[in-house]
Chain A
Amino acid sequence: MKSSINIFSRWAIFSGMMLGVVISPNISAQETSADSLKFVHLNEVVVISAGKSLDHQKQHKPLSSLDEFLESSRGVNMVKRGAYAWEPTMNGMASQRLTVTIDGMQIFGACTDKMDPITSYVDVSNLSEAQISSGQQGAAFGNAIGGAINLKLGQSNFRPKGWNGSLETAYESNNNMRVFGGELNYSEERFYLNTDIIYRKADNYKAGGNREVEFSQFEKYNFSMNSGIKISDDKSISATLIYDEANDVGYPALTMDVSLARAIIASASYKQDRLFGKFDNWESKVYYNTIKHVMDDTKRPIVPIHMDMPGWSETFGFYSQANLVRSKNRFFFKLDGFYNKSLAEMTMYPQNIEEPLMFMLTWPDVRTTNLGFYAEDDISLENASLKLSTRLSYHSNSVEDDFGFNSLKIFYPDMGRLNPRFLKSFSAQYHKMMNDFHLDAGLAYGDRAPSVSEGYGFYLFNSFDNYDYIGKPEMNTESSVDANLSFTYKKPLFEVTAAANYFHIFDYIIGRVDNSLSSMTIGADGVKVYENLQYAKIFNTSISGRYSMSNALKWTGQISYHRGVDNDGENLPMISPIAYRSSLDFFKNQYSASLSVEGAGTHDDYSPDYGENKTAAYATLSASFGKRFFLNDDDLFIKAGIENIFDTNYSSYTDWKNIPRMGRNFYVTLSYSIN
């Protein structure tokens, strides 16, 4: 069930929903054959940029945001609070149940209201691919229930290519977005240096019917640099630095905007081909990242009370990993750890200026320590394979700040500062090939610690259900037993896959109304306290297909259904209704074109307790056209398209408070590569 998708191409976007997909006629053969043996993991790889130079032939909307790339993947849905910083969800689970890493580095957003998922701190210009692993298949990256998304940074990796560079620009009509980017790379056998910079600025976007969505503007730039040196034939060191800053980001679905979201991400790693003569691909990395996130509402004309909510998150971490191949067993071992500091505060300015400022710590300087060991064994059998994996971790949270500790003791007088846990994950994944049939089946157990907000949040306002949330430090560890099953029938010209997975989650963590508590936020309906439910159940299923009508014309499609309920049979929030996508792609010579439809059924199984309502069904139609020119040795690529051709005014279940999505949008991208 491994597939590779090149997101940059309209071909690929829709093939992305498919299993074992073919990217383009040129490379389809090798991709499929390379895939067939590894066809075992419930993984998906979203290729963002093949190598470091953008391969424009395969790009649909080359400078679209990382969020749009992720959204095009089969398994990921993006929760939107505006035009910027969407939050990835997988298998009906949001970021607290996922591990999201950048090149294996743990990074945690600094916003108490999830306005800065870590996917917002990198840009497509930095990345080569997104590795998406469902359920415990993502345990290599951390303890999670729903899965893992690892964003892999692009690196030249000592390919002897010399100097190369490119300039890109894009414009989108709907929100007047301007994108400028450039990269300059140098690579030889013993040394490489990659640099890139990208700048985006957008005004408010307009929903269908030319209705402006106020406070949906944003501005951001991202700079990254990575470099490597071979110190001997089998040893190399490399270092990475990413600086990302967004300013003036509007969140139309929330009551506050963001004046600054800044991340500095740095790492150094050491690679050695062999270790102790037995292990190979030994790689060790140390990393550090620091995030500052400032929410404010000074640009909102009417607020009951002005407030500032800055947050800080700082993480130190390391990992060291190696492979060991023993005849039919391919082992992978990883030792990793991180230490995170999360602090957030809120200052409110009373209308009576004679009164003192109102101040609270919304995250009481929580220190999270995690030390883990991961091992997997990929066993080759006859026309089949079995992968066994496990992760064992020590995980602890402690409250450092006395002010914050005393604040939480108002609710939990007996709470201690330290809360250690032992986390574990086990999984078995089996793959069987029978001529043109592929069978995948897996069984797994995993658990996770509560997030900082779930454990220690102090009056965090959720604008969706209109409740303040209080964390609960001594909750049980949430654990999940999950099973997955998929069948694929695969022929050169067509392919169809039916897949399903089921999560039975014990001690499911969710906020429940506590009527004895009084809300803090003016206008809120009350207070919810995080609790462990006895259990919750989530079921996801999809059917996807591909049909190549000719070398130049291809059809892809997917339809999916999801269901999530708690132990009382009540609907869980943020679970997708029936959703579908389909696309017709044309590619010949240097021309490309596509026509695609995307839509969802009525959201009948919504959760009114969490602010959801019955979102109506919708469908949108989009098209794109591209042409490549050769100018001497250089390469010019033009891509243009229309999204939401009929200017439909709609919102989906992922749209926070049902803010409408973007209406008709024309875009054009120009890329010029200098070789």
Chain B
Amino acid sequence: MKIFKYIYAVLFLAISLTACSSDDNSDIPEENPVKDLYKIYEFSRPDHTVEVYSVKQKLEVGYNEISIRVKNIVDNSYVADAAPSWMPMMHMEHMSHSGPHSVLSNSVNNTVYRGHIVFQMAGNDTEFWDLTLNYNFKGEALSETTLIDVIQPTNGLKKVQVFTGNDDVRYVLAYVNPTKPEVAVNDMQAVLYKMQDMMTFPIVENYKIILDPRMPGMGNHSSPNNQDLTYNSSTTMYDGKLSLTMTGYWMINMKLLNANGELLKGEDVTDDAPSSTLYFEIEF
């Protein structure tokens, strides 16, 4: 624990010094906006390259936050007018479908286009994902399609649920946060989409997701003071609170209610039914 204190102290010192100096001297280079991300793909063209970054080292089944930059090779600058859009596609033996995905936005940093994709399944020998990127470079509309690898998370934990609700609508519910769970009250986030057709996945608004986290390894122990996930229109995600009383393997049992409070999916956890059919799994 002590070592962390020192690290924090050093970090704090470094940050405060940096902060001071940047006030004094605006020539200090900006912090790299993709510093903590993994570059997973790069396409090179004669006058520019397209870089694709991911928060995770590899794209995994479930929610993936992805960032895209377009670099002008001539002057080594990143463009702020690429206006990219994207379309992930799963090519199965007899059909193809897309996956829920957000728009790409450069609102945080104008040269980094950020968005997310929810992959419902992993690729394998006969079925694969590709990603089509449409963007502008120097006023010219370009398109690039590349094969992408989507794998199951290494620990095999369930982080996305694709299901048909009692209203006969197909939904995709994916776990977003916490990415690093703690023994604490965690801020939890998830995204909920419905499948309008093979290619269209609109965001579902104003539903409610009831949480019941459990530890099957500890007699299905649960935790207090969880807060159900509700829709946040500014992030277009579902936010709530997740209490975790110890480290270990947790199953987050859920029930999905529509805007009228009608149950669409999931069951109460009881002694006879130790888990809901709608759940996420986490380990830490």
- CB atoms of A407 and B245 under 8 A apart: yes
Asked whether, in the complex, the Cβ of A518 is within 8 Å of the Cβ of B221, the reply is yes
Residues in A whose Cβ lies below 8 Å from that of B217 = 305, 348, 350-352, 355, 358
A355-B283, A407-B183, A407-B184 known; A360 vs B245 contact (CB < 8 Å): yes
A459: chain B residues within 8 A (beta carbon): 245
User: From residue B105, how far is it (CB to closest CB) to chain A in Å?
Assistant: 32
Q: Which residue of B lies closest to A360 (CB)?
A: B246
Query: Are B185 and A409 closer than 8 Å at their CB atoms?
Result: yes
Neighbouring A residues of B246 by C-beta, 8 Å: 346, 348, 358-360, 520
A411 interface residue (CB < 8 Å to B): yes
| Contact for B1 among A351, A352, A401, A409, CB less than 8 A | A401
Q: Kindly list chain B residues whose C-beta atoms are within 8 Å of the C-beta of A517.
A: 224
Of the listed residues B218, B244, B249, the one surrounded by the most CB atoms of chain A closer than 10 A to its CB is: B218
B146 beta carbon closer than 8 Å to chain A: no
Chain A residue nearest to B248 in the complex (CB): A358
Within 8 A of B (CB), among A386-430: 401, 403, 406-407, 409-411, 413
Q: Mark B192-226, 1 if CB is under 8 A from A, else 0.
A: 00000000000000000000000101111111110
Chain B residues lying within 8 Å of A409, measured Cβ to Cβ, are 184-185
A277 at the interface (CB under 8 A from B): no
**Does B164 belong to the interface (CB within 8 Å)?**
no
- Tell me the count of chain B residues lying within 8 A, CB to CB, of chain A: 24
A37 contacts B by Cβ under 8 Å? no
A356 touches B183 (CB 8 A): no
- Which A-chain residue is minimally distant from B223 (CB atoms)? A410
**Inter-chain contacts of A413 with B (CB < 8 A):** 185, 225
Beta-carbon contact of A356 and B219 below 8 Å: no
Known: A356-B283, A407-B184. A516 touches B248 (CB 8 A): no
Number of interface residues of A (CB under 8 A): 32
Q: Could you tell me if B248 and A355 are in contact, using CB atoms closer than 8 angstroms?
A: yes
Tell me the complex Cα distance, A407–B247, Å: 11
Instruction: Give the residue name and chain of the A residue nearest to B184 (CB).
Output: A406
Q: Kindly identify which residue among B1, B183, B244, B245 contacts A520, using a CB–CB cutoff of 8 Å.
A: B245
Find out whether the CB atom of B245 lies under 8 angstroms from the CB atom of A359: no
Nearest CB on A from B254, distance (A): 17
A301 within 8 Å of B by Cβ? no
Chain A: which residue is nearest B221 at the CB level?
A520
Instruction: For chain B, residues 232 to 278, give those with C-beta under 8 angstroms from any C-beta of chain A.
Output: 243-249
Q: Mark A295-311, 1 if CB is under 8 A from B, else 0.
A: 00000000011000000
Mark out the residues of chain A between 306 and 358 whose CB falls within 8 Å of any chain B CB in the assembled complex.
346, 348, 350-352, 355-358
CB distance from A347 to the nearest CB of B (A): 9
In the complex, which residues 144-175 of chain B have their Cβ closer than 8 Å to any Cβ of chain A?
none
Contact, CB under 8 Å: B247 / A406: no
Report the bound CA distance from A346 to B222 in whole Å.
17
Contacts of A359 in B (CB 8 A): 183, 246-248
B127 within 8 A of A: no
Bound: A346/B245 CA distance, A: 12
Query: With A305-B218, A406-B182, A407-B183 known to touch, is A350 a contact of B248 (CB < 8 Å)?
Result: yes
> Complex: how many Å from CA A351 to CA B216?
11
A350-B217, A351-B217, A358-B218 known; A410+B247 contact, CB < 8 A: no
Q: Complex: how many Å from CA A520 to CA B224?
A: 12
Task: Say yes or no: A519-B283 contact (C-beta < 8 A), given A358-B246, A360-B247, A409-B184.
Answer: no
Judged by a CB distance under 8 angstroms, whether B43 is at the interface is no
**Residue among A305, A350, A401, A523 with the highest chain B CB neighbour number at 10 A:** A350
B12 interface residue per 8 A CB criterion? no
Name A407's closest neighbour in chain B (CB-CB). Answer: B183
Assembly CA distance A359 to B283 (angstroms) = 12
Q: Assess whether B41 is interfacial by the CB under 8 Å rule.
A: no
Q: In residues 352-377 of chain A, which contact B (Cβ within 8 Å)?
A: 352, 355-361
* A351 contacts across to B, CB distance below 8 A: 217
Chain B residues, Cβ within 8 Å of A401: 1
Contacts of B1 in A (CB 8 A): 401
Nearest-CB residue, chain A, relative to B182: A406
Judge whether A355 and B249 touch: CB under 8 Å. Answer: yes
Q: In the complex the two chains form, what is the Cα distance from A519 to B215 in whole Å?
A: 11
Interchain CB contact under 8 A, B224 and A410:
yes
A34 within 8 A of B: no
A631: Cβ under 8 A from any B Cβ: no
Report the separation of the CA atoms of residues A521 and B283 in the bound assembly, to the nearest whole angstrom.
Answer: 19
Contact partners of A411 in chain B: CB under 8 A: 224-225
A511: shortest Cβ distance to chain B, in Å? 16
Distance between Cα atoms of A360 and B247 in the complex (Å): 7
Could you tell me if B284 and A356 are in contact, using CB atoms closer than 8 angstroms? yes
Check A522 for interface membership: any CB of B closer than 8 A: yes
Complex Cα spacing A356 to B284, Å: 7
Contacting pair B249 A522 (CB below 8 A): no
Minimal beta-carbon separation of B187 from chain A (angstroms): 12
For residue A430, give the distance in angstroms from its CB to the closest CB of chain B: 51
Query: Shortest distance in angstroms between B195's beta carbon and chain A's nearest beta carbon?
Result: 33
Which one of B1, B183, B283 has the greatest number of beta carbons of chain A within 10 Å? B183
Cross-chain contact B247 with A358 (CB below 8 angstroms)? yes
- List A residues 455-510 near B (Cβ within 8 Å): 458-459
Interface positions of B from 1 to 18, Cβ below 8 Å from A: 1
Q: Which residue of A lies closest to B156 (CB)?
A: A354
Minimum CB–CB distance for A332 against chain B, Å: 42
Specify the chain B residue showing the minimal Cβ separation from A304. Answer: B219
Interface centre among B222, B225, B246 (most CB of A within 10 A): B246
Query: Which residues of B sit under 8 angstroms from A403, Cβ to Cβ?
Result: 182-183
Question: A516 to B224, Cβ gap below 8 A?
Answer: yes
Chain B residue at smallest Cβ distance from A400: B1
Residues on B with C-beta less than 8 A from A348 are: 217-218, 246, 248
Bound state CA distance, A630 and B203, in angstroms?
A: 98
Closest A residue, CB atoms, query B284: A356
For residue B240, give the distance in angstroms from its CB to the closest CB of chain A.
14
- A188-202 CB contact bits vs B (8 Å, 1 = yes)? 000000000000000
Q: List 15 A-B contacts (CB under 8 A).
A: A350-B249, A359-B183, A359-B246, A359-B248, A360-B246, A407-B184, A407-B245, A409-B184, A410-B224, A410-B225, A458-B245, A518-B221, A518-B222, A519-B219, A520-B221
8 nearest A-B residue pairs (beta carbon)? A406-B184, A358-B248, A360-B246, A522-B219, A355-B249, A518-B222, A350-B217, A359-B247
Extra contacts besides A359-B246, A521-B219 (5): CB < 8 Å: A305-B217, A348-B217, A356-B247, A401-B1, A410-B185
